[in-house]
Structure 1
């Protein structure tokens, strides 16, 4: 097979080098060099004088950039800095500490990026997010602080998946191989990566509701609680339909979702008016925060539906 000389030299292909050829959904062929002994991308960070927040941001940035190995060095790495490194490793999928001493800590990404397909990752994010929202409202209704804490902790898993998807997409933009290239085009990969953001923020709002629920000092009045439950269920149903529209390239369903979410604004206004009639100012503030998060979940569902429309329009 003859290949462009300039490209072959750039990626290290010589006569007799093996390459893989993959078919794409649009009929194109993807030629990917199979290079033996791939160089491990390493990032070295001198943590001397690093504050915790700055160190955490740099580790996540190195992860998203695609470094396989990150080496932290200093004459003496502080216990607080090691704690930050361990904490970030827990927040990310793949990196593990493989070496540790008083002057050096090494983490390495042990995950094979081909193990997670983008559509499966988004679906997993969505399922966790839906369970968080349902349980957050249940915790509010039953004053279950333990369930509220569990909801809050589940947000970490959604964040981990979102960061992994972002890392994979960046790798693809830099010429990396798509894990599911035979089923998903680069355009679709981009659209699903875009959808990961709203889903992650819906999980954040579910966590926010759970935190408020855990601090409520008195039960919610029955009629107000029923209205909150009803609004939450409607928004969750519409978010699910928006995700279905994205997976099935259904513009008609996506437009219905956007119209339905717009029609719920009146219900939100009425619910806020009911909350303002409550006697306890603390309860008013807490429930106002929850209704605000529910409204934002609706807006994020509209964002997913718009992404579905943009993704599907190319087929028309």
Structure 2
């Protein structure tokens, strides 16, 4: 049987007109190397108040080594990105033929990672270093940047309803930037979860990560929608109907993101029924357009965007609620 921990009780002591104090267990003070004058962190949650020792020093940033021999570029890509997200400050890639693939690593991997630079390059090694201090990063501001990219994607795709002036390459470039921000947000959240004085609770960070993940997926769907729209072989009623619903889908996304940045839970809840309305419209359009080439692909992408946007709305509501508790 495990050891049963007996809860400790402390009496509240009146301290001035607006505060109360409690004494902290001496064993806990010693265990966390605290002394008189040190700061502790108070975190509220749904069950009460948590007291944590404040970590004033920066979390140690580590170095990792990746052996490239016998690995494909895709395997190296996954390993580099995984270590980047995991918070490694320096990534050393070594192998007999690293010099032969360094160009492809730069194009296919490093261009997708924010803050990473090459500090040393040779025939048998490639050393990467991150120069961004994660403590200075605001995850909500990064989400705002990703949101701007998605908004630009929505605008670019509108151009495909007429003779497009925007190329498909523009859509892919914006989507790549959203992916870069997503990897970076994952890295920052992991770092901040490991220090006790972060601005958000673990639950709030989980919600923020889910919002970022959904924004990234919306970017993917809008990009693919544009690709199918360019191929659409219809200039009549079906195309006009697609355009009309597309505008409604875009507006729903913009309104949900406005609820996030304004921290407006009422607005997020008010927008929830729009999912059912739009899904119904898309279902009816699908029945009408079943013989129009590429129309079903476009409708499916709009449906996915609606579902992902609705999920962001739910996450916004949860995030604001946990912040109020």
Whether 1:53 aligns to 2:53 is no
Partner secondary structure for residue 264 of structure 1: helix
Highest CA radius of gyration, 1 or 2? 2
TM-score (norm 2): 0.80
- Residue number in structure 1 paired with 2:290: 276
Partner secondary structure for residue 141 of structure 2: helix
Shift of 1:82: 4.4
Partner secondary structure for residue 123 of structure 2: coil
- 1:49-70 CA-to-partner distances (Å, cap 9, x unmatched) read 1111110000000001100000
TM-score (norm 1): 0.82
After superposition, the CA RMSD in angstroms is 3.0
Pick closer, same or farther for the CA change 1:270–1:192 going to 2, 3 Å: same
Please list every run of 5 or more consecutive structure 1 residues that lacks an aligned counterpart in the other structure: 279-283
Task: Using the TM superposition, name which of 252-261 and 79-88 deviates more.
Answer: 79-88
Whether 1:5 aligns to 2:30 is yes
Superposed counterparts of 1:283-298, under 5 Å? 284=293, 286-298=294-306
- Residue number in structure 2 paired with 1:188: 204
- Residue number in structure 2 paired with 1:281: none
Partner secondary structure for residue 226 of structure 1: helix
Aligned length: 295
Partner secondary structure for residue 67 of structure 1: coil
Out of 54, 73, 95, the residue aligned to residue 31 of structure 1 is 54
Partner secondary structure for residue 32 of structure 2: helix
Out of 180, 190, 215, the residue aligned to residue 160 of structure 1 is 180
Pick closer, same or farther for the CA change 1:67–1:228 going to 2, 3 Å: same
- Residue number in structure 2 paired with 1:121: 142
Whether 1:174 aligns to 2:194 is yes
Partner secondary structure for residue 83 of structure 2: helix
Whether 1:209 aligns to 2:225 is yes
**Cα distance between partner residues in 1 of 2:267 and 2:219:** 23
Contact map agreement 1:71 1:104 (CA 8 A) in 2: yes
- Residue number in structure 2 paired with 1:63: 84
- Residue number in structure 2 paired with 1:97: 118
Please list every run of 5 or more consecutive structure 2 residues that lacks an aligned counterpart in the other structure: 1-25
- Relative to its length, the structure with more helix (as a share) is 1
Contact map agreement 1:19 1:33 (CA 8 A) in 2: no
- 1:25-76 CA-to-partner distances (Å, cap 9, x unmatched) read 98978722336xx754100111111111110000000001100000011123
